[in-house]
Structure 1
Amino acid sequence: MRIDDRLTGLIFAVLGCGVIFLAQQLPAVPGTTFGPNLMPTLIGIAMLGLSIRIMITGLRTAHHGPWFDISAWHGRTRGIICAIWTMAGVLVAIYALPVIGFPILGLVYTIGLMLLLHIHLVIALPVGLIVILGLQYVFAQILYVPLSAGPLPLPW
């Protein structure tokens, strides 16, 4: 699928403005020089600037074709299914992560995606286990960001 650069730039410019606006809504921390809004604001500014650059590049091209071109997807169902799996996984994680937990949800998501990409289960299972449990450990022990463990009791 091809999306015209004019539309892509416009969408990301709007998202960049949204990030900047929402970052300004974060409360200030007393006694600090820089508040929690600094990094999201910088990211929003960079996102806005780069998206305007993409939009200008799209406007400068001599040929303005359709805004969407899905002819490249003809006969490529695996890529479409993987894209749908990825988006559905994010949506499911938003609502089910506190209940199911990161290890179970992450393992099902990761192994499912690897199987869709034709990776053998003998490789997908240990790689998925190592990656998901490694991420759970790093977030909990090093970054101090507790991810929901769900019904699994983890040693950390």
Structure 2
Amino acid sequence: MVKAPHGLAGLAVSGSVVVPEAELEERFSRSSGPGGQGVNTTDSRVELTFDLATSSSIPEPMRARMLERLRGRLVDGRITVSASEHRTQLANRRAARERLAEILGEAATPAPAQRRATRPTRGSQERRLQAKRSRSELKRGRGRLTE
């Protein structure tokens, strides 16, 4: 993994896929979160944007799967994550990267194997019916006594 300034590195999406720094776009603005008087003068809020649709660092089958799963979050093929919960810009940059890596990692995981339908065994069917009969008897026994 390549280190970038301030300890920030390329974004690890999965075990073999890393998004390089050049494909990430950061914007900074004034945060409404904690920071006291400094919140009015410091651009500590971070918006991290990644263009998933045109990225060359993500293999095509994985990109198609990610685009499908994230279609509700994408705007023109781009995903944006913002962070403003920390007082410092660097901490917000790290938080935004962690969040984006988590979102992309979840979208990149392959779908679980399709379940093959099986028929219930004769024994399981008989046990189920016997349990239903005994439950029915129990409830019938709770009825009013007639004399």
TM-score normalised according to structure 1 size: 0.20
TM-score normalised according to structure 2 size: 0.21
Higher alpha-carbon Rg:
2
Q: Which has the higher helix share?
A: 1
Q: Which has the higher strand share?
A: 2
